[in-house]
Amino acid sequence: MTTNTSSIQAVIFDWAGTIVDFGSFAPTSIFVEAFKQGFDFDITMDEAREPMGLGKWDHIQAVGRIPAVDKRWNEKFGRSMSSDDIDAIYSAFMPLQKAKVADHAAPILNSIEVVESLKAKGIKIGSCSGYPRQVMDVLIPVAADYGYKPDYIVATDDLPQGGRPAPFMALKNVIELSVTNVGACVKVDDSTPGIEEGHNAGMWTVGLLLSGNEAGLTYDEYLAATPEVLEAAREKAHAKMIKSAPHYLIDTIADLPEVISDIERRISAGERP
């Protein structure tokens, strides 16, 4: 075991839009498809992205509560979406997601190198996801083939208490990684529920602007973007992410090492999240 040379004990990462799947397209596109398959009902990609970070059943429920979606649903079915409707869409979502998630398992930028540099300092790597366990069981080995091997993984349905924005998944990482101080942990995420999860767990929080759900750029779009396009995407994501008041906002995980150094400095100076 590597001796910890940092004042940080653990960094807990989200998955899609943070470590893998630039733009968080695996869940988003499948939500659109699941609504279509389950009820021949159309939602937009922006509507599918709106509640990202929640567990997937809760996400479907939240999409159904978007006023424009609820209006169209009432026009088509004469009522608002019910729990049975959500169950049916979730049932359509699951096999689609399991079939597609491996196609979106490529690491974002230099995420593997960043993670390995943290491990080299003795920092433990936790992770949690809005994906349920049966989807994670498909994603985990594919991500491992790319080189991503966190020390612990929690899926959104692993715990009876539920998922984000509650702190339970983050705190399960704390317990399993034998972390002694939540104030020595960092939560990194591309969604507001994931940042709120970190706050609720008493951790430092880092939000990602350009690689995740809120900017909604593909990797190719990101590479080809002009400074003006990137700034527009950054501002769009910032407007959403700032509502959860992360301690830091950065473009992608490539910018994380500087933030880690600053958090180490602040912890060493006696600061808490």
pLDDT at 24: 87
CA distance linking residue 38 with residue 95, whole number of Å: 12
Show Cβ contacts of residue 228 under 8 Å, excluding neighbours closer than 6 positions: none
Residues labelled catalytic: 14, 56
CA distance linking residue 224 with residue 208, whole number of Å: 19
Q: Tokens standing for 53?
A: 């970070």
CA distance linking residue 111 with residue 92, whole number of Å: 31
DSSP states along 173-219? HHHHTT-S-GGGEEEEESSHHHHHHHHHTT-EEEEESSSSTTT---H
User: Is 26-102 a CATH 1.10.150.240 domain?
Assistant: yes
Neighbours of 103 (CB within 10 A): 11
Which of 163, 166, 259 is CA-nearest to residue 207?
A: 259
pLDDT at 66: 95
CA distance linking residue 260 with residue 7, whole number of Å: 10
Cis peptide leading into 165, omega within 30 of 0?
Answer: yes
Domain ranges in the chain?
A: 10-24+105-268, 26-102
pLDDT means over runs of 10, the chain (273 residues):
89 96 86 89 91 86 95 96 94 87 91 97 96 93 96 94 91 98 97 96 98 91 95 95 97 97 97 96
Identify the CATH class of 10-24+105-268. Answer: alpha beta
CA distance linking residue 216 with residue 209, whole number of Å: 9
51 three-class SS: coil
Helix, strand counts (H, E) of the chain: 12, 5
